[in-house]
Structure 1
Amino acid sequence: MNLEQARFNMIEQQIRPWNVLDAEVLELLAVVKREDFVPLAHKALAFMDMEIPLGQGQVMLAPRVEARMLQDAAVQKHEKVLEIGAGSGYMAALLAHRAQRVISLEINPELAQMARANLQKAGIHNVEVRQFDGAKGVSADGPFDVIMLSGSVAEVPQALLAQLKVGGRLIGIVGDEPTMRVNVVTRTSDAEFKTSTPWDTVAPRLLNFPEPSHFHF
């Protein structure tokens, strides 16, 4: 397989048509080698428009979903980012190129180890992967400029919103199948938040986040 051609096709045929037009994001997708973050057994799928299994029931999100979330996060060089759900480390690698520092929480020990190894191999040193239940965040390291949920939740926990700086953004896929929406929640003051829901997608659940009861009496 011609990797560079496959990468170019991924960017031009999947990602750009999905309204990912930020030149810096597109350039980053050309630079960070996605195939190095894909498990060996699935290397051939690295540039396909699909979720890639990581084992333990977890996946890498489709490239266009990752790219658009990265674009919506609008991370700046001076910012500190919290990612929930490290997976293989690919999103953390993308965030690391744009941020000052990234803390990535991964509940699964095998995936945390995989993410660490992949980031080290890629020469990325401003990401700390912690094996940790990310549902509550890490308030001791906050507040954060950006919180990225690399998977879906039924609703955004207040505990995470409380760890945003004023002006900070949380990006996550929220709702239940078949319709989930990307939420971009911006903290506008100590007590106020503004939410936009720019696009729809579907993604597997992050573990241990609360599922509200659907029974109404």
Structure 2
Amino acid sequence: MEIAENAALVVVDVQKGFEEEYWGKRNNPDAERNIAVLIDLWQETGRPVVFVRHDSAEGSRSPLRAGHVGNDFKDFVEERRGKGSGPELLVVKSVNSAFYGEPSLDAWLRGHGVGQIVVVGIQTNMCNETTARMGGNLGYGVVFPLDAMHTFDLEGPYGWTAGADELTRATAVSLHGGGFAEVVGTEDVVRGASAGAAGVR
């Protein structure tokens, strides 16, 4: 796996509100650890990092609503913000895609000559998948480390339900099989990013 020396890590919605019972049962308890590993590596190698925060719409009862403690980044993310030697951006959004936030993620990435993004965070089949799909449509090479994110069980139409692991598999198949993103593991990204960083020293 090749990770460009200026690939951007896009950390989506790693916020305290996702710890509330409101969401139901989650999967992948290792997600936060793997996200932290990738943030640390990106900051150590001077690569660009984008932190994305979801501000739920005014009047929403969502745990991610602005002004609620759940809107804050989880501590392990907040503690890392501003610590890297590379460029960093905060994007605030109120919809699924990080490309529809403020300031413009697309403009910032292009301004830094970025052609590859690595998407991590919460939720796998919601904001992460939407951001990955749009990134692919915009011409970015999208890397999707599936173990550096998590999601929740979900109820849909007709009384249908899907578990978090089932939704994760569906997202992986759709993105990878559909050519929107390369679905990999955190270790794959670490190896690729470390090799790329060593090559530019």
Q: TM-score range by the shorter chain?
A: 0.3 to 0.5
Task: Give TM-score scaled by structure 1 length.
Answer: 0.39
Task: Give TM-score scaled by structure 2 length.
Answer: 0.41
Q: Which has the higher strand share?
A: 1
Q: Which has the higher helix share?
A: 2
Work out which structure has the larger RCO, using CA pairs closer than 8 Å and 6 or more positions apart in sequence: 2
